[in-house]
Amino acid sequence: MTRLRVLRRVLAALPGAAPPDDDGPARVARTTRRLAVLLGAGVAPGSAWRHLALEADADARTRSATVSVGLAADGPDDEAGPTNDHRADAAVLSAVADAAAHGGDLPAAIAAIADQETGAGARTAWAGLAAAWQVAAISGAPLGVCLRDLAGSLRELDRIGRDVGTALAGPSATARLVLWLPLVAVLLGMALGFDTLRTLFATPPGLCCLAAGVVFLIVGARWSSALSARAARRDPAPGLSLDLVAVAMAGGGAAPAARSIVEEACERFAVPYDGATIAGVLALSARAGIPAGELLRGEAEQQRDQARSDGERAAAILATRLMIPLGVCVLPAFLLVGVAPLLLSVVTSTTLGF
């Protein structure tokens, strides 16, 4: 069984194809929405951040206690990751509250949260909140209203990420599953009474088949992972820069000044800036003589709808493209590791019988 364990470890070490789950935009949207409500009720920014920090700390303690009980009863639990996220949220919210209480640079303190995040969606969402805060402060836009609109945009970004992740989950899981076919073939040979493990590990032809099969599996796994990563690659925040320009325009400033404020904030906090689309929307607004805010928000919603459609299309294409490494790499590995040792065992036993 030691040899079987070696095969299982080799397969488990192969790179996975599933994209990581990133719930960062949802967490940032929840924080932004609560900030908007508190500020709209007349709470000072420093006090608002402090209230959120205390709530996040209490939430993290509750989740930690729940997970500890689950670990004691059932063993390791997948809730440990979310608990760490909430604990980190409590720490960074407290840091932002301290910066607000001491008259520090709030956008910079918010942006520091992004540097501690691992997911691209979470980093961009926190950076977007920092940029929106700076844009509203400079342009004179009502902060509570702006944050309320931003929270809606972040919730939509989270839905896009989840929809695309769900669409990619099927092809990615299939790619991961078929990598176990060679081991299934080995187990099938053993169930039929053939010593396929001895053939693989103790005979020169078997060792050659094993080495070639492992190479094919590694190439197939890396190929599948590369295809999945390419399909999952997308703009983490479609339309966010247009929303920021709408925030700046809400302060009553001119379009060129609003563009300049947003461009500076996007550059400072590494938020993608869609200058060409913004220029086109502002030009249309000027020609038609209508406010640019609704046009900008409408264009941002259109970009997010397009991002969702592009993600679903990429997932459909991925399901077909994953058949290539399956046929070119996984199938030969299946034949080399599962079928060839079976045939060698039959030939060997037949030869010894004569």
Which of 67, 37, 64, 42 lies closest to 52 in space, CA to CA?
A: 37
Residue-wise pLDDT tens digits, 231-266: 888 777 889 999 999 999 988 888 999 999 999 999
Q: d(Cα 129, Cα 245) in Å, to the nearest integer?
A: 13
What pLDDT is stored for residue 18 in this prediction?
A: 46
Residue-wise pLDDT tens digits, 290-308: 889 899 999 999 999 998 8
What pLDDT is stored for residue 3 in this prediction?
A: 54
What tokens were used for 238?
Answer: 């479609």
What pLDDT is stored for residue 22 in this prediction?
A: 56
Q: d(Cα 113, Cα 128) in Å, to the nearest integer?
A: 11
What pLDDT is stored for residue 6 in this prediction?
A: 52
Residue found under tokens 């309320």:
148
Q: d(Cα 42, Cα 349) in Å, to the nearest integer?
A: 86
Residue ranges, the chain, pLDDT below 70: 1-23, 60, 63-89, 91, 114, 117-118, 349-354
Q: d(Cα 36, Cα 5) in Å, to the nearest integer?
A: 55
What pLDDT is stored for residue 192 in this prediction?
A: 79
Q: Is 167 helix (H, G, I), strand (E, B) or coil?
A: helix
Distance of CA 99 to the CA centre of its chain: 29
The model carries a pTM of 0.74
What pLDDT is stored for residue 65 in this prediction?
A: 55
Look up residue 146 and give its amino acid. C
